[in-house]
Amino acid sequence: MSASKDQIMTALTRITLPDGGDLVSRDMVRALTIEGDRVQFLLEVPADKGAAMEPVRKAAEDLVAGLEGVGSAKVILTAHSAPGSAPPPNLKIGGHPKPQAGPEPVAGVDRILAIASGKGGVGKSTVSSNLAVALAKAGRRVGLLDADIYGPSQHRMMGLSTRPASPDGKEIIPLVSHGVTFISMGLLLKEDEAVIWRGPMLMGALQQFLGQVRWGALDVLIVDLPPGTGDVQLTLAQKTKVSGAIVVSTPQDIALLDARKAINMFGKMNTPVLGMIENMSAYICPNCGHEAHIFGHGGARAEAEKLGMPFLGEIPLDISVRLAGDAGKPVALEDGLVGRAYQQIAKGLIDGGMA
């Protein structure tokens, strides 16, 4: 069993610094990733102390490599510039997209699944994070890209707040949470900072996240799209070889009306729609077991059948989803009613060769 992030961070508190404190209390640990039994992270130090910190780097690497569940550890020393020296590498996010001859694959990624909805409020981002976790639990190598650049929320649901590093100013090192490799604009902003960009900046940022993040070898990259049919969806289809899209809807007619628009959009972009998921399908009372269809029931299944596409599954409405998302621990980690629903959808995608 692999060591957890908490175990590694706790161990690093034992590495004391020459001028007091430890690596964790001084907030020097960046971009901690865990892939199986391999651990990698950065130590950010002032440029004028880079040489002096080499013994600390080596001690941290040896300590983590010796932890139970760790096969190998790699610690990279990166330095902030001292006053008057050249600035550290910095990868600026956003800007006009770079020209391409056509859609390109993402290096190391076998499949790209776009999770979409015609409107907001149907739980698309919640479905994306939980589906990613469920696929990772099933043994797939999974990445999750939060492409809702104006309103990123996945970092909160995945329990992440560490800013990703870019040691060379050319690549971003993604974070890993619950077995999922992850990147989001939300990790690059201050808590309440808004993204106020026109379309080209948005399109450029998405292109960078797809091409300049060190995703590594993945079976599937899940892209959580913003609601609607705008610039991000168009850029994804034009710049990237998308394996297919999954459309999320609630059962009621208004949501299905917008879901049809999302399906129509993917058809025009020659992106196959792999199926539909019905979210907030039914509420089951935890006290008496009564099942109530607050938003209706079966609408997405009927729509999928009408359009001749697979119906991938339904997710019940349950308070555990909200509590788990707020806590940064997706409900798919657990084996409850909702967790089993996600596990069943993940199994169907794997068995069908879609993930």
The string over 313-327, giving b where at least 16 C-beta atoms fall within 10 Å of a residue's C-beta and e elsewhere, is bbbbbbeebeebbee
What is the share, in percent, of the chain residues with pLDDT greater than 70? 95
Q: Report the pLDDT value the prediction gives residue 47, as an integer from 0 to 100.
A: 62
* Range with lowest mean pLDDT among 241-250, 290-299, 305-314, 330-339: 290-299
Q: Report the pLDDT value the prediction gives residue 290, as an integer from 0 to 100.
A: 79
Q: Report the pLDDT value the prediction gives residue 191, as an integer from 0 to 100.
A: 75
Model confidence band, residue 90 (pLDDT cutoffs 50, 70, 90): low
Q: Report the pLDDT value the prediction gives residue 48, as an integer from 0 to 100.
A: 64
Q: Report the pLDDT value the prediction gives residue 19, as an integer from 0 to 100.
A: 81
Higher pLDDT among residues 30 and 271, named by residue? 271
Q: What is 5-80's CATH topology?
A: GMP Synthetase; Chain A, domain 3 (3.30.300)
Q: 300-307: long-range contacts at Cβ-Cβ below 8 A with a sequence spacing of 24 or more?
A: 300/249, 300/250, 300/251, 300/256, 300/259, 300/276, 301/276, 303/249, 303/256, 303/259, 303/260, 303/276, 304/275, 304/276, 307/263
Q: What is the mean pLDDT of residues 271-279?
A: 95
Q: What is 109-351's CATH topology?
A: Rossmann fold (3.40.50)
Model confidence band, residue 82 (pLDDT cutoffs 50, 70, 90): very low
DSSP for 84-97 reads: TSPPPP------SP
Higher pLDDT among residues 175 and 95, named by residue? 175
236 Rama sector, left if φ>0, alpha if ψ -120 to 50, beta otherwise: alpha
Region(s) of the chain under CATH 3.30.300.130: 5-80
Q: What is the mean pLDDT of residues 172-178?
A: 92
**Each residue's pLDDT tens digit, 178-229:** 999 999 999 988 777 888 888 888 888 999 999 999 999 999 999 999 988 8
CA distances from 289 to 227, 285, 313, 318 (A): 33, 5, 21, 12
Q: Report the pLDDT value the prediction gives residue 85, as an integer from 0 to 100.
A: 47
pLDDT reading at 87 higher than 70: no
Please give the structure tokens belonging to residue 9.
């961070």
Instruction: For strands 175-177 and 29-35, give the pairing.
Output: unpaired
**Where are any strands of DSSP class E within 84-164?**
109-116, 142-146
* Range with lowest mean pLDDT among 48-52, 277-281, 286-290: 48-52
Q: What is the mean pLDDT of residues 41-60?
A: 81
Region(s) of the chain under CATH 3.40.50.300: 109-351
30-34, 81-85, 308-312: which is most confident = 308-312
**Each residue's pLDDT tens digit, 131-160:** 999 999 999 999 999 999 998 999 999 999
Q: Report the pLDDT value the prediction gives residue 50, as an integer from 0 to 100.
A: 67
Higher pLDDT among residues 118 and 128, named by residue? 128
pLDDT reading at 122 higher than 80: yes
Q: Report the pLDDT value the prediction gives residue 81, as an integer from 0 to 100.
A: 46
pTM, entire model: 0.76
pLDDT averaged over the chain? 88
**Residue 294 φ then ψ, to 5°:** -65, -40
74-88, 121-135, 290-304: which is most confident = 121-135
- CA count, 13 A, side-chain hemisphere, 125: 23
Q: Report the pLDDT value the prediction gives residue 189, as an integer from 0 to 100.
A: 82
